[in-house]
């Protein structure tokens, strides 16, 4: 039935299928990315803070290199400025944090675009399908016989397939895109909070200046 509906929906249905496959790829990639960050972040912070409190700067740098990610990159930037005044460390961390935001937002624009255009593509497919249905209805009446209502109804429901597909894809991708947006905002807040903690612990380990 799927292949039959795909064929009846016309070229627009194939475009929606391609968009849905792209959306699935982005969803899997982003879900894996955010899950890794959630799992690693707390454990990384605990290890990193323990090393700093023990004045094991080299080991802390190696830890950042072994476990790359937004927080590790910020921590490494903080370590590179460990001997500088508090204000400079804060500025360096803010700059490092701003560079991580595009990483958190990667591919979310693709998902949002799919959620916006899918219903429009579905509507376009329906309009094209209705045009074809009216053309078929007109051709069927040229022979002198009155075309049956069944012919017209068949053309309409075939045309509506793309609207249903477009709305379904748009709704699903919008919900998932919103979920990832919330995850991204939460991670940004967590990074900001971690940045403040990094400033405190690094300046504490500087000793008297």
33 vs 13: CA distance, rounded Å: 30
- Dump pLDDT digits (tens) for 39-78: 567 677 778 778 877 777 788 888 887 777 787 888 888 7
Q: Residue ranges of the domains in the chain? A: 2-204
- Dump pLDDT digits (tens) for 16-46: 999 999 999 999 999 988 887 765 676 777 7
Judged by DSSP in three states, 56 sits in coil
Look at residue 147 in the predicted model and tell me its pLDDT.
54
The CA dihedral of 140, 142, 143, 144, to the nearest 10 degrees, is: 110
Judged by DSSP in three states, 4 sits in helix
């Amino acid at each position: 039935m799927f292949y039959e509906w795909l064929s009846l929906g016309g070229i627009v249905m194939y475009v929606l299928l391609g968009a849905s496959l792209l959306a699935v790829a982005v969803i899997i990639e982003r879900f894996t990315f955010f899950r890794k960050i959630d799992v690693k972040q707390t454990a990384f912070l605990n290890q990193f803070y323990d090393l700093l409190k023990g004045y094991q700067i080299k080991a802390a740098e190696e830890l950042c290199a072994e476990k790359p990610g937004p927080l590790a990159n910020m921590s490494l930037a903080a370590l590179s400025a460990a001997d500088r005044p508090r204000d400079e460390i804060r500025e360096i961390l803010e700059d490092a944090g701003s560079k991580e935001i595009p990483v958190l937002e990667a591919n979310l624009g693709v998902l949002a675009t799919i959620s916006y255009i899918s219903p429009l593509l579905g509507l376009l497919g329906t309009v094209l399908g209705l045009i074809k249905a009216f053309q078929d209805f007109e051709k069927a009446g040229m022979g002198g016989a009155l075309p049956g209502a069944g012919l017209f109804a068949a053309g309409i429901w075939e045309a509506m397939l793309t609207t249903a597909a477009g709305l379904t894809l748009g709704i699903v991708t919008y919900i998932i895109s919103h979920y990832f947006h919330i995850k991204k905002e939460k991670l940004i807040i967590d990074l900001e909070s971690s940045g403040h903690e990094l400033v405190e612990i690094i300046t504490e380990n500087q000793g008297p200046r």
